[in-house]
Amino acid sequence: MPSRTSRKPSKRQPPTDSYWQLCQRFPLRPIADETEHAEALRIVDELVDLKRRDSGQQDYLGALSELIEAFDRQHPVIEYTSDGSMLQFLCEQQGMTQQAVAEATGIANSTLSAVIHDRRRFTRDHIQKLARLFRCSPGVFSG
């Protein structure tokens, strides 16, 4: 029969009243949706804004922050990026000018400029040419 290892007594303090009050307001359990996520962020903001937090508030803040991080890992936010912004980003990354892109793709410089200024959208043909030039998926452009 395996022997049990002796355990050291826990130095953990019992939860404070402030901790329980926060738990009643927003129970510590996995965040289910965007509404709960927004509420959790609001509570974190309130706690961070306090000039002083007691140990219960600090413990709650740490646990809630971990739940928020877990939700964020499972629900990444993909923000819309305009074709013009994406083109500018890719040009910066490759060290290319707009004129160089126009010359390399055969897309008129005026067309590239219009897309950058949200006055026009790329066609499928434009997207294919840009994807080849920048060696990226055509999906990075919305078209």
- The ranges assigned to domains in the chain are 17-74, 83-140
Domain 83-140: assigned CATH number = 1.10.260.40
Quote the CA–CA distance of 54 and 19 in Å, as a whole number. Answer: 9
Token pair of 137 as six digits: 């998926």
Does residue 17 or residue 78 have the better pLDDT? 17
> Residue 81: what pLDDT?
86
Judge contact between 84 and 118, C-beta under 8 A: yes
Q: What is the pTM of this model?
A: 0.53
* pLDDT tens-digit series, residues 119-139: 999 999 999 999 999 998 898
Q: Specify the residue for token string 């078209």.
A: 143
Judge contact between 98 and 109, C-beta under 8 A: yes
Quote the CA–CA distance of 63 and 55 in Å, as a whole number. Answer: 12
